[in-house]
Amino acid sequence: MVRKSYGKMRGTRKKLRMRRKPTLTGYLRGFDEGQKVHIKIVSSGSFPQPKFHGMTGMVVERRGKSYAIQVRDGNKSKTVYLRPEHLEPVKK
């Protein structure tokens, strides 16, 4: 029997499939505090916990090259630190 995996990448075969090519604009994009963003993980290189993929949050602050994003996980409010290539602005 094979032992069940409980790792960080469990259940992400389809979730993190590259559907779009990462662009230079994605790496250079800037966001303002209070702006709403979607979390869309680019799986090339380092990336955050895959459970946050597809969530929408609000930019709280900038930390170096990254942004602090406030998201709701059930009833809890969590802060995730992401680089701009993993974020997309919400279109109104």
Give yes or no for residue 44 having a pLDDT over 80: no
pLDDT at residue 62, rounded to an integer: 96
User: Average of pLDDT values for 77-92?
Assistant: 93
User: Average of pLDDT values for 53-67?
Assistant: 95
DSSP state, residue 54: T
pLDDT at residue 87, rounded to an integer: 93
pTM for the whole structure: 0.81
For residue 64, the one-letter residue type is G
Cα–Cα dist 68/58, whole Å: 8
Structure tokens at 63: 């930390």
Domains present along the chain, CATH in parentheses? 31-89 (2.30.30.70)
Structure tokens at 62: 């900038």
Cα–Cα dist 40/56, whole Å: 9
**Distances from the Cα of 60 to the Cα of 14, 26, 82, angstroms:** 30, 19, 11
Give yes or no for residue 66 having a pLDDT over 90: yes
